[in-house]
Chains A and B, each alone.
Chain A
Amino acid sequence: MMLRLATPLIFLLLLVPVLAGIVISFLPAFGFLPALGGNQLTLQWWQTLADVPGITHSVSLSLIAGLVTPLIALILVLLFLASASGRRLDSWTRRLISPVLAVPHAAAAFGLVFLIAPSGFLFRLFSPALSGWDRAPDLLIINDIWGLSLIAGLVIKEIPFLMLVAMAALPQINPEQRLAMARTLGYSPVTAWLKVIAPALYPLLRLPLFAVIAYASANIDVALILGPNLPATLSVRLLDWFADPDLDNRFLAAAAAILQLGVSALAISLWIAGEKLLGWLTNGWMQNGQRRYCEKPLQIVGRAGVPLALSILVMGLLLLLMNAFAGFWRFPDTLPDEWTLRHWRSAGMAIVTPLSNTLRIAVPVTGLTLVLVVASLEAEHRQQRERSLFAGLLYLPLIIPQVAFLFGLIVITELLQWQPGYWLVALGHILFVLPYMYLTLAQVYRRFDTRWLQLGATLGATANQRLWRIRLPMLLAPLLTSAAIGLAISISLYLPTQLLGAGRISTITTEAVALASGGSAGVIAVLASLQAILPMLAFTAALVVPQLVWRQRAGMRDTRDYE
């Protein structure tokens, strides 16, 4: 009975805010926002938006980041899978994916800053010996006007995501069999992979890729840290307008949010057009019978790309920790003169509230979502039907730019006179936590060997007993992993926290991003380290707890077949 309500409730929780948010976003964009005296529809704000200096540049930046990021990430992931499968490199990389995936975007971006900034670790390594610099050079690497460091930051963070999605999708298409078949026909490994596996794998990556496009074209946290300043990306500028004390700028921000929606939609449309074009171009190539195609170069790129991206991520994280404990650290010195807890002490009091807020939101949100997801999957199992439509809808909050519907949501809450704060933030977090938790758990849940349940039934166990005494205990490890993912997502959310909390609910993520321009490196490093450490703790617990609980049960420790 209660179970049946779960799926409709999930629809309600995801669809209503997203769709209502988008529709309502259109109103202030056309001048209608009675609370601020906008009583009639007008195109005035679109004119204002068009006249904003550098707006075309901002839009192009967002569009380019939105297209180039997924393109590079996809190429590197596909080439890696094509050339490294089955090698030791492959298993190391796979093991690294989950922990680095847990690192919030902002923490990864700060890590990159500490690595490639002119005063960063890379330049220290080469200075002064090779470069001759004894002062940090005056180069615009971070915040470069073309958004290259922004794209780099996005690429290294999206690669683990695409890797995970691809690794989860691959078993569905029988890669070994396909590959063996092509190899026996004389195709060299990489060519064989690209010709017989990539075309079957790609459709399974499409929705996640759209999510990457939407995020890359509309994100705010990474763009605030790594993106250009003059002008900034569209998303950053519209947040500035939204936060402007001059309330008239709210209308401008609303118009820009709709423009952002258009930019992300355009990026996805261009991507789809690119798919068609590529499909048409490669149609002949697929069938031309050529057995070997640039094997060596592709192999080199494939084996180097993803591991390099992951190394940069990991290096960045280490640098976060180093900076968090670094005392005086003169420029060309590779390592700091001394290690200190000073930054932790100076961040000390300021951390307490954000940290407790972070947990106060993440833990109940994850717990509630886990219950909802399990209830929905169990109801689906008991009614014996799968909902393929469901997966597409789950991606809705991930494919539609956050700003576009969050603005509308805020207008709605203002109309209803709901106070922004904890409850709204928590509700907003569910929107983003739910899809990821559902997607990660659904697969394992549906693949659970039904013979266990049939056996339970023949032994007299009712449906509820089968759930509580068989399925849930046997799925302990994936349940905890899914919860860890939920915690990681919630901890990493910037925009929903910032907007739905009206800036009053500070978490470690909002604090860290707020310090991006002009904060002390040490304090930023402390906050970003915490941001990275919390999800990692959750993932570690998700690995260790089942090992402890099942330490006497060998059969439960080996059955991690979902990896």
Chain B
Amino acid sequence: MSNKPEPASADPRLKLEQVHIALGSTTLVDLDCTIAGGEIFTVMGPSGSGKSSLLAYLGGFLAPAFTASGSVRINDQEVTGLPPEERRLGLLFQDPLLFPHLSVAGNLQFGLPAKAVDKKARIAAVLNQAGLADFADRDPATLSGGQKSRVALLRLLLSEPQAVLLDEPFSKLDTDLRRDIREQVFLGIRQAKLPAILVSHDEADAEAAGGQVLRL
């Protein structure tokens, strides 16, 4: 981690200034906004509208075919020039993407910063809190859909991100499970006071997020 341990500023926020993303001559995204800690900013739009390009741009892996400009600041630190691993932007994908070659604990440990202390104990503690007490040594392939999503969220939070990107993380879940997981994810984000951007095409997501909404 090259980041200096910033004094966790009293008011963490994610600030996008004149973010402009285009594919050829077609403008996909034109955005200017500030997201406060704990706020969930929702970007709605049909597929192909540039939602995913926005997340890819923020995360630092926009394909070279796109052109993008603008400034992205997390807690007043400019991140657009940083490689993805130094931006400290956590990302939840549509799929939980638990590494198939690692155990549940291995996945969580992958998220923990290398210099973290008492790794085993911390992992046990968060698993316990999430109601997954005996899951440390389990093969992720044997987990249910909801359990996988929860482990993915725990892994994200353990990585101590400064902001969170949510790429339709609930879209593949059944309706019941969906509400449940959404609540847990939003709760985790609010408790950690993280600014978040949610990409979705489900109105219910935007409603539950309760923050600003951008329609592409």
Contacts and interface: CB of A to CB of B under 8 A. Distances in A.
B84 A458 contact: yes
B171 to A, nearest CB: 15
Interface in B74-127: 83-91, 93, 95, 97-101, 103, 110-111, 113
Interface string A429-473: 000000000000000000000111011111111110000011001
Q: Interface of chain B, helix or strand or loop or mixed?
A: loop
Contacts of B95: 451
Given A553-B100, A553-B101, A555-B100, A460 B93 contact: no
B85 A462 contact: yes
Contact of A454 (B91, B101, B111): B91
B159 A460 contact: yes
B110 A469 contact: yes
A417 interface: no
A552 interface: yes
B64 interface: yes
Contact of A458 (B90, B99, B113): B90
A451 B60 CA distance: 12
Contacts of B64: 384
A205 to B, nearest CB: 30
A457 B84 contact: yes
A474 to B, nearest CB: 6
A460 B139 contact: no
A449 to B, nearest CB: 9
B1 A458 contact: no
Given A554-B139, A554-B142, A555-B139, A458 B89 contact: yes
A167 interface: no
A559 interface: yes
Given A473-B101, A554-B139, A458 B161 contact: yes
Contact of A452 (B83, B87, B97): B97
B216 interface: no
B110 A555 contact: no
B38 interface: no
Contact of B84 (A384, A454, A474, A554): A454
A460 B91 contact: no
A457 B86 CA distance: 8
Contact of A556 (B97, B101, B111): B101
A473 B103 CA distance: 13
Contact of A474 (B85, B101, B156): B101
B155 interface: yes
B24 to A, nearest CB: 18
B79 to A, nearest CB: 12
Contacts of A418: none
Select the residue from B85, B93, B113 with max chain A CB neighbours within 10 A.
B85
A476 B159 CA distance: 26
A460 B99 contact: no
A550 interface: yes
B165 to A, nearest CB: 8
Nearest to B158: A459
B59 interface: yes
B61 A553 contact: no
B159 A457 contact: no
Contacts of A476: 101
B140 interface: yes
B141 interface: yes
Nearest to A474: B101
A555 B141 contact: yes
A457 B61 contact: yes
Given A458-B159, A555-B139, A474 B100 contact: yes
Contacts of A463: 83, 85
B141 A461 contact: no
Nearest to A552: B139
A462 B87 CA distance: 11
B65 to A, nearest CB: 10
Given A470-B99, A555-B140, A457 B83 contact: yes
B152 to A, nearest CB: 9
B133 to A, nearest CB: 19
Interface in B128-155: 139-142, 155
Interface string B188-214: 000000000000000000000000000
Contact of A554 (B87, B97, B113, B141): B141
Nearest to A469: B110
B139 A553 contact: yes
Contacts of B99: 452, 470, 474
A175 to B, nearest CB: 27
Contacts of A473: 101
Given A454-B84, A555-B140, A459 B110 contact: yes
A58 B86 CA distance: 66
A450 B60 CA distance: 13
Interface string A111-133: 00000000000000000000000
Contacts of A450: 61
27 contacts: A450-B61, A451-B97, A454-B61, A457-B59, A457-B60, A458-B89, A458-B91, A458-B161, A459-B110, A460-B1, A460-B85, A460-B88, A460-B111, A462-B83, A462-B85, A469-B110, A550-B101, A553-B101, A553-B139, A553-B141, A554-B100, A554-B141, A555-B100, A555-B139, A555-B140, A555-B141, A556-B101
Interface of B: 1, 59-61, 64, 83-91, 93, 95, 97-101, 103, 110-111, 113, 139-142, 155-156, 159, 161, 165
The 6 nearest A-B residue pairs measured at CB: A555-B100, A457-B84, A554-B141, A555-B141, A458-B91, A459-B159
Given A450-B61, A456-B85, 8 more contacts: A451-B97, A457-B60, A459-B156, A460-B86, A463-B83, A474-B101, A552-B139, A559-B100
Interface of A: 384, 450-452, 454-463, 469-470, 473-474, 476, 550, 552-556, 558-559
